[in-house]
Chains A and B, each alone.
Chain A
Amino acid sequence: MLLYILKRILYVAPVALGVSVVCFMLVHLAPGDPLTAIMPVDATAEQQAEMRVIYGFDRPLPVQFGLWFGKVVTGDLGKSIATGRPVLDEVARAVKNSLILACAATLIGFALGSFFGFVAGYFRNSPLDRLASAISVLGVSVPHYWLGMVMVIIFSAQLNWLPPTGAGPGGSADWRPDLEHLRYIILPAITMSVIPMGIIARTVRALVADILGQEFVQALRAKGLGEWGVFKHVVTNAAPTALAVMGLQLGYLLGGSILIETVFAWPGAGFLLNAAIFQRDLPLLQGTILVLAMFFVSLNLIVDVAQTALDPRIQRA
């Protein structure tokens, strides 16, 4: 097992290198000058050349990559062109905020999705099933930035119950677990939760329907076990698959939240990516993409190792 884990970690190295190359090249392939954002629009050719030398953009791309990668492996993601602040600090804070939002959305999505899934699965082909299924389909299909705006219009602009932007009072960029900050996470978390809610509801409905049709359920009932007891068995059987699906959703939510974070000005990785793209802040863009990509690589590693620990047959395969 230990050997397998070591081998699996070793496999990560070439993947990480590939990811780094892609991150670096992708942002360089985009049109425009990376220094546009910080130079006055009418900077002379001489001033532009001077700036390129200072930021190292005058060197060949492989040299730029080598220098950048050399720093990255030591944990130095460079400094933001736009703000001059260390990219690692900016990204770490943003990823923390994104994780908080993604976890909140995951929890809400899991709770609601499971509820709708069980209702639909237990009362198949009834009006309740159709209603629960419709809600889950809607959750997956509705454009989330649109839903975010609708939520803001209703709960912030009309009813004035909840704040529409930021992570805390006065534009705070750090979310904290207290009552005042809780108000700021409600709208983005609910908006973001509709995707996992829909997916979980559909998964759980199919699982429950399948489990209820199996012989052991009939056997349990025949033995005289009450419906509550049967339900517990159904939950136990459905939970592992549902949890696996949910785990994947957490990863997607972390990386795919750019629109929702922008709508709610939530200071997470998606919002930071948006700012970096608009400012053409190359070090920030590369750093954010790299950290998010490495997060996925690590998540995959953890899932693989965990699955192997639970089921040794996977290791042999």
Chain B
Amino acid sequence: MFRTTLTRAALAASLILGAHGAASAQGTLRIGMTASDIPLTTGQTDNGGEGMRFMGYTVYDALINWDLTSADKPSVVIPGLATEWGIAPGDETKTKWLFKIRPGVKFHDGSDFTAESVVWNLDKLMKTDAPQYDQRQSAQGKSRIPAVASYRVVDPMTLEIVTKAPDATLPYQLAWIMMSSPAQWEKLGKSWEAFAKTPSGTGPWKLTAFAPRERAEMAPNKEYWDKTRVPKLDKLVLMPLPEPNARVAALRAGQVDWIEAPAPDAVESLKGAGFQIVTNAYPHNWTWHLSRVEGSPWNDIRVRKAANLAIDREGMKELLSGMMIPAQGWLPPGHQWFGQPTFKVTYDPEAAKKLLAEAGYGPDKPIKTRILISPSGSGQMLPLPMNEFIQQSLAEVGIQVDYEVVEWNQMINIWRAGAKDPSSRGATAINYSYFIQDPFSGFIRQTQCNLSAPSGVNWGYYCDPETDKLFDQVRTTFDPVAQTEILKKVHEKFVNDALFLFVTHDVAPRAMSTKVKGFVQAQNWFQDFGTITMEP
């Protein structure tokens, strides 16, 4: 009797423990995201860049997409659902754009994609009295296209968009706008709630199953219009795992094949255990946004340059297990808009001390100032140890920094409110990481004169007519090559005037099993999962 019970117990235990072996299936890639939920599935996603990466550019397309094919150079925008675009011939105001719609594109439900579909999708974000207006998608999408004044169908394959003023950054703005299927929405009783469960876009992946907070499953869209991007995998599974240790544990145990953003201190042990760590430069920086309001020490260019020369960025790189690219400016080194700034952002404490002495500061008269930082937050890397490192570096040259630590969501509100707002508590800088993928979010929104609070997020109230003039040129130069030349000048000005404390660029680390093959990590916030295969 006792032996039988023991045998049964042993059998049950072996079944429980042994069932693990059947977990992985060939051709299925399981990704552990940092989001705490599946991003909004209706088209315009939430959860920031990660939402667009996993639910935006997978299930949907924009009129203009990002070229995600190369790991060696920063991405550029390329034709998506529009094959070509430009200012309408003969338009003197330079505000009327025409877009040629890609022929033969079908939504996952089989309906045709036309210029009518684009208007319908813009209405879902902009027109509050439209039946398809969706508050949730509008909250995510409307502010992405500030230039758009109006739009209309010219013919089924031609779309017209009119901007409020000449604005050559419109293509970058439109790259954020995902196209959902009007036919599917109609079919599902005009309900976005129903649409969320069975969405339909034109993208390379079809959402096949979806359980909130649990998982989303996608299958390849074999009829995808860009045959080079038809996914090779059988299935893509997304799982929300917001806790970094839980993500690492899930990868180590074989529950997922790929995790986003492993904690830097877990990287070495993951490498040791045989996992791949994939990194690349991408348009994201980690800076101190300096206040330029009256009384700020950063109004003196010598102080700004001194601070930039005081940071031992290589030392910080060691602190982060190599998971950063030392900043040489606002953009990562090698970026197409980097230009040739004359001020070299290096580590030179002696030069820093000299500059501070010229500005009237020294060991007997150090600069004393207060900076706002957060303990964590999206894209903030490891803010506490990194800022402690900076505090020490700056103290060595004569800049004494006191930190005020505020919770991340509160920090976002302070950032929106601007340096003059009482919520900034007289701080002279705010530690903030920036998405710098397009000219507007990369340069203009932080530094244009008229974008201070409440009109925008020029937190520091920097205002320079010369910079604004360059921004005007960016907006009115419609030739991409000529526009790049102006953007280089903008960046040169950013660096030469040391407008920010340039510290690091994040490297978007991902850890994955050695079974994952063929992934090309583009220098972009978004990625193409179509090239990936899974080794058995």
Contacts and interface: CB of A to CB of B under 8 A. Distances in A.
Interface of A: 31-33, 36-45, 47-48, 51, 54, 82-85, 90, 149, 152-153, 156-157, 160-166, 169-173, 179-180, 182-183, 186, 262-265, 267, 274-275, 278-280
B110 interface: no
Interface in B1-34: 12, 15-17, 19-20, 23, 30
Contact of A83 (B16, B19, B37, B254): B37
A170 B409 contact: no
A182 B14 CA distance: 12
Nearest to A157: B252
Nearest 4 pairs of A and B residues by beta carbon: A45-B454, A32-B409, A164-B249, A171-B239
Contact of B253 (A31, A47, A164, A275): A164
B83 interface: no
A36 B409 contact: yes
Contacts of B19: 179-180, 183
A47 B143 contact: yes
B255 A164 contact: yes
B155 interface: no
B344 interface: no
B455 interface: yes
Interface in B462-521: none
A183 B20 contact: yes
A38 B249 contact: no
A262 B409 contact: no
Contacts of B193: 84
A82 B243 contact: no
Contact of A265 (B17, B142, B243): B243
B212 interface: yes
Contacts of B415: 41
B139 interface: yes
Contact of A162 (B17, B144, B457): B17
Interface in B391-432: 406-407, 409-410, 412-413, 415-416
A161 B252 contact: no
22 contacts: A33-B413, A39-B139, A43-B143, A44-B456, A45-B455, A48-B416, A153-B249, A157-B253, A157-B273, A160-B253, A164-B250, A165-B250, A166-B239, A166-B250, A166-B255, A169-B23, A171-B240, A172-B214, A263-B243, A265-B241, A265-B250, A280-B409
Chain B contact patch, size range: 35 or more
A96 to B, nearest CB: 14
B351 interface: no
B211 to A, nearest CB: 6
A149 B265 CA distance: 15
B20 A265 contact: no
A41 B412 contact: yes
Question: In this complex, which of A40, A161, A179 has the most chain B Cβ atoms within 10 angstroms of its Cβ?
Answer: A40
Given A82-B37, A275-B37, A278-B36, A262 B454 contact: no
Nearest to B42: A84
Question: In this complex, which of A47, A156, A172, A179 has the most chain B Cβ atoms within 10 angstroms of its Cβ?
Answer: A156
A165 B242 contact: no
Nearest to A172: B214
A140 B250 CA distance: 28
B237 interface: yes
B242 A263 contact: no
Contacts of A152: 245, 249, 253
B253 A82 contact: no
B140 interface: yes
Contacts of A179: 12, 15-16, 19
B20 A170 contact: no
Contact of B17 (A173, A183, A263): A183
B229 interface: no
Given A161-B17, A163-B20, A42 B457 contact: yes
A279 B211 contact: no
A40 B454 contact: no
B20 A83 contact: no
B246 A163 contact: no
A165 B249 contact: yes
A38 B250 contact: no
Contacts of B17: 161-162, 183
Contact of B413 (A36, A90, A186, A278): A36
Given A183-B16, A263-B243, 20 more contacts: A32-B409, A32-B413, A33-B413, A36-B413, A38-B139, A42-B416, A45-B416, A45-B453, A48-B416, A82-B46, A90-B212, A152-B245, A160-B254, A162-B17, A162-B253, A165-B246, A169-B23, A173-B212, A179-B19, A267-B213
B246 A264 contact: yes
B136 interface: yes
A275 B36 CA distance: 6
Contacts of A31: 406-407, 409-410
Contacts of B340: none
Question: In this complex, which of B139, B143, B246, B415 has the most chain A Cβ atoms within 10 angstroms of its Cβ?
Answer: B246
Contacts of B144: 40
B196 to A, nearest CB: 8
A163 B255 contact: yes
A41 B139 CA distance: 11
A168 to B, nearest CB: 9
B317 interface: no
B445 interface: yes
B456 A42 contact: yes
Nearest to B211: A173
Contacts of A173: 211-214
Contacts of A182: 16
B135 interface: yes
B139 A32 contact: no
A262 B242 CA distance: 9
A54 B413 CA distance: 19
Given A44-B143, A161-B20, A38 B136 contact: yes
A51 B46 CA distance: 15
Given A31-B406, A163-B255, A183-B16, A42 B143 contact: yes
Contacts of A169: 23
Nearest to B249: A164
A264 B243 CA distance: 9
Question: In this complex, which of A47, A156, A161, A170 has the most chain B Cβ atoms within 10 angstroms of its Cβ?
Answer: A170
A51 to B, nearest CB: 6
Given A42-B143, A164-B246, A262-B246, A36 B412 contact: yes
A42 B142 CA distance: 11
Contacts of B453: 45
B215 interface: yes
Given A44-B454, A47-B143, A265 B246 contact: yes
Contacts of B23: 169
A31 B407 CA distance: 8
A89 to B, nearest CB: 9
A85 to B, nearest CB: 6
Nearest to A153: B249
A224 B312 CA distance: 83
Contacts of A166: 239, 250, 255
A82 B409 CA distance: 14
B454 A32 contact: no
Contact of A54 (B15, B46, B135): B135
B143 A40 contact: yes
A171 B214 contact: yes
A156 B253 contact: yes
Nearest to A48: B416
A148 B289 CA distance: 39
Contact of A263 (B237, B245, B445): B245
Nearest to A170: B215
